[in-house]
A and B are shown apart, each in its own frame.
Chain A
Amino acid sequence: MSNTVSWAATLLRKKPVQSLTTEMAGSDRQGHLAPTMGLFQLTMLGVGATIGTGIFIVLTQAVPKAGPGVVLSFGIAGITAALTALCYAELASTIPVSGSSYSYAYATLGELVAYLVGWCLLLEYGVSASAIAVGWGQYLNEMFVDILGWRMPDAISEPPGHGGYFNLPSVVLVAMCCLLLLRGARESATINAMMVVTKILILLIFIVIAFSAFDPANLKPFAPFGIAGIGSAAGTIFFSYIGLDAVSTAGEEVKNPRRNLPLAIVFALLLVTSLYVLVALAGIGAQPWTSFAGQEAGLAVILRNLTGANWGSLMISIGAVISIFSVTLVVIYGQTRILFAMGRDGMLPAWFYRVDPRTLTPVHNTIIVGIFISVLAAFIPLDILADLTSMGTLVAFAVVSAGVIILRRTQPDLPRGFKVPFYPVAPILSVGFCLYLIVSLPAHTFLLFAVWLAVALVVYFTYSIRNSQLSPQRARSGQAAGQ
């Protein structure tokens, strides 16, 4: 009996918030900076982080599943994203430092849950970076077509499964991003603002031009595969809402978080969803829904077919190439830092958190992440990547939402900087929506996800459980390192 209890205690051990604070202390040792972000910056942060992850490539995957009803799928995915982001914000505000959902889960829900959330984040970040990188290659190719009238050979530029064998452009993109990260190049808040404007402009250009050729006949039949089709497409589309958590994790940087966090999440979501729905509507109005399947660099190609000229698609392609680049950089960065944090906690081997004395960046970590992402991008078809990303993200968000309910019951007195409105309806709905979207993902995604979790558990029980900084053997060295 006592054995079972100690096992449970091991799996549920929590990281003290104090050690999180120490780990993230700045050079002045005076604690945190004054909050700097107001509602507007925070909203722009959310919009910037979200747009660009998926909208440039997701129509090709989603429209064949739902038909014109994909417009509703965007709505469903958007509501789910908003609910989860609100829950995430509560969990984040409970821990007075900034971090990822891995860190929050570790401090509140215990080690095993945190560890599994970490592996889900690998899907959210690592695999989505691959998916985005594949999309980048397609737009790069369209750009070549518009400028040079030449395209790269299919074998090295097409996603595998669509006539290609090795997706070279995506590998090049990932390599460039990793190199920049090794150098310590970072996107600042200013560059983010510029990127937001670029991305919104491209999408607006697309919307305006495509709407000029709007044909209502294309909207019929509205839902050729019924509700199931719309749900299934929403699962895939959820991938294009990743990034909204950038708002939730802003934590201590936010002025008046009780008011600004939920408002920023809602505003960012409204902006993003309206843009997405307009893009989808414009695309569907411009060509029959059956034409979307297999169409690469969708937005650019639609414009070229519509106008019969290159300039429209060229603008879209250039904009997409630039903004997808910036998004990939951000996502790969997030991935390396999550692995860094996991390595720091002893969940992963030490080389994930070794800092190279020459670059002062985690070099091994970045290289491993780069290789992992490039291999996926080079050899795995895009639709599988997109679905896996959605799967990982949805599971992580479902856990976070459930975590809000669990924490309110187990530790009701914990000070919370921000509380989910309409408790407990919002978190329950959030979990419900996540589960609905998860269930509507294709069966092979479940299989892959099960394999993924199995690998994660094997690593946990063979390595992490003993090497955790919280395990009794390691406790002393952990304290030494924290000082």
Chain B
Amino acid sequence: MKYLVGYAADAGGREALALGRLLARASNVTLTVCTVVPSSWGYPSPARVDVEYEVFLARHAQRILAQARSALGDMPGAEFISRAAPSATEGLAEAAAETGAALVVLGSARHGPLGRFTIGSVSHDIFYAVSVPVALAPRGYHPAVETRLKRITCVYMPTPGSRAALDEAVQLCRRHGAPLRVVALVVRDKQMYPSGVGYNIENMVANVWKTEAIEAQQKVVAELPPDLKVTTSIGDGPDWKKALDSLGWEDSELLVVGSSVQSRVSRLLLGTNSARIIRSSPVPVVVVPHPPGDG
């Protein structure tokens, strides 16, 4: 099984590499590190300037990959490839399809806070371009080389996308020998002002949701294989970040979350919880796409 790491010669690339190394520390997983360079003009030009540019790009890619090789250290079976494409997303998607990668690893955009992942242009589009899970390394992520995953947490809200995420989390647990934690998040919405219905009515909504979420959790945990070590927990807070923080985290933990495939319109109108979770998670996140037409 291959994991594809999207590498660029910056801190985000190194963080992606570190996460890839951690995730590949499981039986029969090898890494493919891919860097994407701009594609040059495909036609001969006067004075053949495009060829010069191509040569430059190829050298540049080799330099970057050499950097990646030394950053990764000793990793049996690791491959390093470069790819020319009009955009980094396209290049990575093609590489993922060609190598048959089971997972794509990306680093964070640079404009966000340390310790969290910030969606950038590549990570924004990659979910539309690939159909495999995408792992996202938060900004400033650099685990020690010998680090192993201590626990894998999966957000299970009873939506269609959550089931696929849970299955993926179970597989990751098996591969890494880590225990599973199934969590649901209760986000206490802001209260409307003024209101003739009192000023903590929103807690009633949140508490009903909590009851529903706990029921769904118990039901789905009962269906999991009995040999797996499973715990459950509820994250509860006034916003997504505080709700996630309230769960408590191991120093090397992974969060798995499903992303339901929504139309662009409903994405725009309703936003997605997975995007909010990605932005707020204190640990790396694996986003599992929900296969279209499945439930």
CB atoms of A253 and B208 under 8 A apart: no
How far in angstroms is the closest Cβ of chain B from A129? Answer: 12
CB atoms of B193 and A338 under 8 A apart: no
Of B194, B197, B205, B211, which is within 8 A of A362 by CB? Answer: B205
Task: State A353–B207 Cα separation when bound (angstroms).
Answer: 11
How far in angstroms is the closest Cβ of chain A from B234? Answer: 10
How far in angstroms is the closest Cβ of chain A from B233? Answer: 14
Task: State A354–B211 Cα separation when bound (angstroms).
Answer: 10
Give the residue among B193, B207, B208, B237 with the most A Cβ atoms within 10 A.
Answer: B193
Task: State A125–B195 Cα separation when bound (angstroms).
Answer: 11
Q: Does A279 contact B (CB under 8 A)?
A: no
Task: State A23–B192 Cα separation when bound (angstroms).
Answer: 18
Q: Does A15 contact B (CB under 8 A)?
A: no
Q: Does A198 contact B (CB under 8 A)?
A: no
CB atoms of B194 and A361 under 8 A apart: no
CB atoms of B212 and A354 under 8 A apart: yes
CB atoms of A98 and B190 under 8 A apart: no
How far in angstroms is the closest Cβ of chain A from B202? Answer: 8
Residues of chain B within 8 A of A353, CB atoms compared: 208
CB atoms of B201 and A358 under 8 A apart: no
Task: Give A314-372 interface residues, CB cut-off 8 Å to B.
Answer: 329-330, 333-334, 337-338, 340-341, 344, 353-355, 357-362
Q: Does B200 contact A (CB under 8 A)?
A: yes
CB atoms of A103 and B205 under 8 A apart: no
Residues of chain B within 8 A of A361, CB atoms compared: 189, 205
CB atoms of A100 and B198 under 8 A apart: yes
Task: Give A222-276 interface residues, CB cut-off 8 Å to B.
Answer: 242-243, 245-246, 249-253
Chain A binder among B143-151, B249-257, B266-274: B266-274
Task: Give B221-280 interface residues, CB cut-off 8 Å to A.
Answer: 236-238, 246, 260, 269-271, 273
Q: Does A294 contact B (CB under 8 A)?
A: no
CB atoms of A191 and B269 under 8 A apart: no
Q: Does A192 contact B (CB under 8 A)?
A: yes
CB atoms of A338 and B197 under 8 A apart: yes
Q: Does B209 contact A (CB under 8 A)?
A: yes
How far in angstroms is the closest Cβ of chain A from B157? Answer: 4
CB atoms of A25 and B270 under 8 A apart: no
CB atoms of B192 and A186 under 8 A apart: yes
Residues of chain A within 8 A of B206, CB atoms compared: 27, 360
Chain B binder among A177-185, A376-384, A420-428, A447-455: A177-185
Task: Give B24-41 interface residues, CB cut-off 8 Å to A.
Answer: none
Q: Does B187 contact A (CB under 8 A)?
A: yes
Task: Give A12-35 interface residues, CB cut-off 8 Å to B.
Answer: 22-27, 32
Q: B12-26 CB contact bits vs A (8 Å, 1 = yes)?
A: 000000000000000
Q: Does B196 contact A (CB under 8 A)?
A: yes
Q: Does B283 contact A (CB under 8 A)?
A: no
Give the residue among B159, B197, B236, B260 with the most A Cβ atoms within 10 A.
Answer: B197
Residues of chain B within 8 A of A45, CB atoms compared: 193-194
CB atoms of A182 and B158 under 8 A apart: no
Residues of chain A within 8 A of B260, CB atoms compared: 358
Contacts A27-B238, A179-B269 given; does A100 touch B196 at CB 8 Å: yes
CB atoms of B199 and A358 under 8 A apart: no
Of A26, A99, A358, A359, which is within 8 A of B197 by CB? Answer: A99
Q: Does A189 contact B (CB under 8 A)?
A: yes
Bin the interface of chain B by size: 35 or more
Q: Does B67 contact A (CB under 8 A)?
A: no
* Complex: chain A residue closest to B235, CB-CB: A27
CB atoms of A192 and B269 under 8 A apart: no
Task: State A99–B202 Cα separation when bound (angstroms).
Answer: 10
CB atoms of B212 and A125 under 8 A apart: no
Contacts A355-B209, A360-B187 given; does A125 touch B204 at CB 8 Å: no
Task: Give A183-224 interface residues, CB cut-off 8 Å to B.
Answer: 183-184, 186-189, 191-192
Residues of chain A within 8 A of B270, CB atoms compared: 182-183, 358-359
Q: Does A97 contact B (CB under 8 A)?
A: yes
Residues of chain A within 8 A of B203, CB atoms compared: 23-26
Residues of chain B within 8 A of A127, CB atoms compared: none
Q: Does A48 contact B (CB under 8 A)?
A: yes
* Complex: chain B residue closest to A41, CB-CB: B193
Give the residue among A48, A183, A188, A333 with the most B Cβ atoms within 10 A.
Answer: A333
How far in angstroms is the closest Cβ of chain A from B220? Answer: 12
Residues of chain A within 8 A of B246, CB atoms compared: 27
Residues of chain B within 8 A of A22, CB atoms compared: 207
CB atoms of B199 and A249 under 8 A apart: yes
CB atoms of B195 and A249 under 8 A apart: yes
Q: Does B186 contact A (CB under 8 A)?
A: yes
Q: Does A5 contact B (CB under 8 A)?
A: no
Task: State A25–B205 Cα separation when bound (angstroms).
Answer: 11
CB atoms of A24 and B189 under 8 A apart: no
Residues of chain A within 8 A of B202, CB atoms compared: 337
Residues of chain A within 8 A of B236, CB atoms compared: 27
Contacts A341-B204, A360-B189 given; does A49 touch B194 at CB 8 Å: yes
Residues of chain A within 8 A of B195, CB atoms compared: 49, 246, 249, 330, 333-334, 337
Task: Give A80-126 interface residues, CB cut-off 8 Å to B.
Answer: 97-100, 103, 124-125
Residues of chain B within 8 A of A148, CB atoms compared: none
Contacts A97-B200, A355-B205, A357-B213 given; does A183 touch B194 at CB 8 Å: no
Task: State A135–B271 Cα separation when bound (angstroms).
Answer: 31
Task: State A329–B193 Cα separation when bound (angstroms).
Answer: 10
Q: Does B175 contact A (CB under 8 A)?
A: no
How far in angstroms is the closest Cβ of chain B from A344? Answer: 6
* Complex: chain A residue closest to B243, CB-CB: A27
Give the residue among B157, B194, B209, B269 with the most A Cβ atoms within 10 A.
Answer: B194
- 21 A-B residue pairs with Cβ-Cβ distance under 8 Å, sorted by A, are A25-B203, A26-B203, A46-B194, A98-B201, A100-B197, A182-B270, A183-B269, A186-B192, A242-B196, A246-B194, A249-B198, A329-B192, A333-B192, A333-B197, A334-B192, A337-B204, A340-B201, A340-B204, A341-B201, A344-B204, A357-B209
Interface on A for B, CB 8 Å cutoff? 22-27, 32, 45-46, 48-49, 97-100, 103, 124-125, 179, 182-184, 186-189, 191-192, 242-243, 245-246, 249-253, 329-330, 333-334, 337-338, 340-341, 344, 353-355, 357-362, 481
Interface on B for A, CB 8 Å cutoff? 157-159, 162, 186-209, 211-213, 216, 236-238, 246, 260, 269-271, 273
Known contacts A192-B193, A330-B193, A337-B197; can you find 4 more A-B pairs with CB under 8 A? A249-B198, A251-B198, A330-B194, A355-B212
A-B interface, 10 closest residue pairs, ranked by CB to CB distance from nearest: A98-B198, A246-B194, A49-B194, A355-B209, A357-B157, A186-B190, A100-B197, A99-B198, A27-B236, A192-B193
